[in-house]
């Protein structure tokens, strides 16, 4: 079991560059299944979720060539679903939530797909209904083998364009439906679509491949199906959740930090919740500049009621960001209600923060009240375990700000979403040791 040992309270200073966006990378890598021609994608983060998806694509018959660090060429010309080892496919899918996004491309190009319920973070119920709705509206039929746990999708002739009102603005559900509709016969209208930057990036790549998509950046997309898509080159955008994580880290540890190439023009929905907590964020030439703050005060609403930070569909606050906002609020001046609407288990890591000395009240599975310490005292180091990617980075931020030594177990969860985070933060002055042993 990989473990981090952190000696907290070290001053952090320097420059850090965000990795490529995890959520976008998984989408555009699946989109390479839509064409027989090679697709080259750069700025792919070197994280375990990406590595798992590469293995899955190779099980399907995709030729994956690493051209350079973070750059890969994908060739799906030899994919033959009849030759796929179903046991290997099931094993790969079970390890990765993002594997569900092979569904749309496989149905669009081959008219057939078999999937099982994908893996991923255990943060509450994660529905697949939106994915299935999109596929069935486009003409696919689905059968479920309850004993084997396999969903089999078939298309009688070809996917057909349709009006699709998604039951929720699911990012991966929207991505799957867009990819399937791009090769469907006729025109599709997708309403209540997610419009996160990751979806915009996926649409840009598909358009470069020959897709005809209107309304990019809105929740109403019109897709005119084409007969064939061709190869392209594409660069993954910086990871906005990692950028938010670095902002929270800088606030908690009073770091002197420059975040390079921070996608500032698209980052306002990420920056605004931190600014509501009084965290000073400066921008210059596309970079974010964080200077040490001895104190930051949570804004009150105009009627002086308790501030609530809640997740929402873009351009609302990103659900993946709430764990970082929660931990950043620990040393703020004032009180804030954190409302995680989407997942009922995502806030259960707060017991570790309470053990470290944070003043947090868990109201119910979806809401916590954080009473800021205003740096009256530092958190204390403890032993803990990372339950999921975003809770893991929040616990790491807390440990870096704490007095004494912290042990974080199960850091494979952090590695799923953050590339070599110990090395990158170590370069800023953090005292982090990775231990590949149980005896710590």
- Active-site residue, from 49, 75, 85, 121: 121
The helix, strand and coil proportions of the chain, stated in percent and rounded to the nearest 5, come to 35, 25, 40
Contacts of 2 (CB under 8 A, 6+ apart): 410, 411, 412, 415, 434, 435, 436
Q: Is 49 a catalytic residue?
A: no
CA pseudo-torsion sign 34, 38, 42, 46: positive
According to DSSP H, which parts of 41-166 are helical? 48-60, 86-93, 103-110, 129-137
Pairing mode, strands 256-259 and 287-290:
antiparallel
Token pair of 154 as six digits: 């078939």
Tokens 């064409």 label which residue? 35
d(CA 66, CA 134): 33
Q: Are 157 and 178 in contact (CB under 8 A)?
A: no
Q: What is the DSSP letter of 189?
A: E
Cα dihedral 429, 324, 390, 14, rounded to 10, equals -20
Positions marked catalytic: 121
């Amino acid at each position: 079991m990989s473990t981090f040992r952190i000696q907290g309270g070290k001053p952090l200073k320097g420059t850090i560059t965000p990795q490529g966006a995890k959520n976008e990378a998984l989408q555009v890598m699946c989109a390479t299944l839509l064409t027989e021609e090679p697709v080259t994608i750069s700025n792919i983060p070197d994280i375990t979720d990406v590595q798992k998806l590469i293995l899955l694509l190779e099980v399907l018959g995709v030729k994956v060539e690493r051209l350079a660090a973070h750059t890969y060429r994908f060739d799906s010309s030899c994919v033959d679903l009849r030759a796929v080892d179903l046991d290997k496919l099931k094993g790969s899918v079970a390890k990765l939530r993002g594997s569900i996004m092979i569904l749309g491309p496989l149905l669009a190009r081959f008219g057939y797909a078999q999937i099982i319920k994908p893996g991923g973070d255990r943060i509450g119920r994660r529905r697949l209904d939106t994915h299935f709705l999109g596929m069935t509206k486009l003409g696919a039929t689905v059968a479920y083998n309850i004993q084997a746990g396999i969903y089999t999708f078939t298309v009688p002739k070809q996917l057909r364009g349709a009006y699709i009102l998604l039951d929720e603005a699911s990012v991966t559900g929207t991505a799957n439906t867009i990819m399937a509709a791009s090769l469907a016969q006729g025109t599709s209208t997708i309403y209540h679509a997610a419009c996160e930057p990751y979806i915009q990036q996926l649409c840009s790549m598909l358009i470069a491949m020959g897709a005809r998509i209107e309304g990019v950046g809105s929740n109403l997309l019109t897709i005119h199906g084409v007969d064939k898509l061709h190869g392209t080159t594409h660069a993954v955008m910086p990871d906005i959740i990692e950028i938010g994580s670095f902002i929270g880290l800088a606030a908690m540890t009073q770091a002197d930090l420059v975040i390079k190439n921070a996608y500032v023009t698209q980052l306002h929905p990420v920056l605004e919740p931190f600014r509501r907590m009084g965290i000073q964020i400066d921008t210059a030439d596309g970079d974010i500049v964080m200077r040490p703050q001895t104190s930051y005060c949570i804004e009150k609403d105009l009627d002086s009621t308790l501030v609530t930070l809640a997740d929402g569909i873009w351009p609302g606050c990103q659900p993946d960001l709430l764990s970082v906002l929660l931990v950043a609020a620990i040393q703020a001046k004032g009180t804030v209600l954190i409302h995680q609407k989407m997942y009922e288990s995502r806030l259960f890591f707060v017991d570790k923060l309470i053990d470290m000395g944070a003043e947090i009240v868990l109201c119910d599975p979806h809401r916590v009240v954080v009473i800021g310490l205003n740096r009256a005292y530092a958190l204390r180091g403890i032993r803990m375990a990372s339950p999921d990617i975003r809770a893991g980075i929040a616990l790491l931020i807390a440990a870096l700000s704490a007095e004494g030594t912290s042990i974080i177990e199960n850091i494979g969860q952090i590695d799923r979403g953050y590339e070599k985070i110990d090395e990158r933060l170590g370069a800023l002055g953090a005292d982090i040791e990775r231990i590949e042993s149980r005896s710590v």
